[in-house]
Amino acid sequence: MATNRFIGYLESRKNLTGSACGIAGLALTFAGLAGTYWPVVVAGLYGAGALIAPPDRPSLPDFPDPSAQLEELRADFATLRAYLDGVDLPPAAAGRLTELTEVLAALLDPGWVAQVLARDPDGVHTLSRAVRQDIPEAVDTYVRTRWWTRLAPGAEPPERHLERQLTLLHQEADHLAAALRETESRRQESHTRYLEDRGHSH
């Protein structure tokens, strides 16, 4: 560990700048300008160079950009749809699920919509949570609860909860689509104002 720190210092800007200044001090010594105090001059110049050098900064973590996150989310969405195709749902819940997945598919479709979405980290998070957590959990919970209901009939039908959950998720997806549409509308209005202001300045 200590060896790594030492090697890191040797390669640092502080050491390189200090060394350059120290070499300049040696040049002054050979030119006869430093006199008998040349070690002090060289050491002083090295120290001054090390002090004025900008500090090294660690590299920023390499997180995937939003476009890469959306690409991964599309793959997970395809996996989710394959899972949903194998689940037997009652007609009302199946209809709600189809409406929801159509909105999600439109938002995740590669193209300019996805480009707008990529600029909205909260939107990406909302979609990711729906695809990777909320929808599979709602459907899986329904499947398991339905089995128990067959053993002990009379409880509230589990499909009602599933329909309500899918309705809420559909509303959330609609709100996200509306927010993205509003973002584009504001962008269009801003461009109009920019062109108007530019025209008035001439």
Residues of the chain below pLDDT 70: 1-66, 150-155, 201-202
pLDDT of the residue at 7: 47
pTM: 0.63
Closest by Cα among 121, 127, 110, 111 to 177:
127
Closest by Cα among 167, 179, 159 to 100:
167
pLDDT of the residue at 78: 95
On whether the CB atoms of residues 169 and 177 are closer than 8 A, the answer is no
DSSP state of 36: G
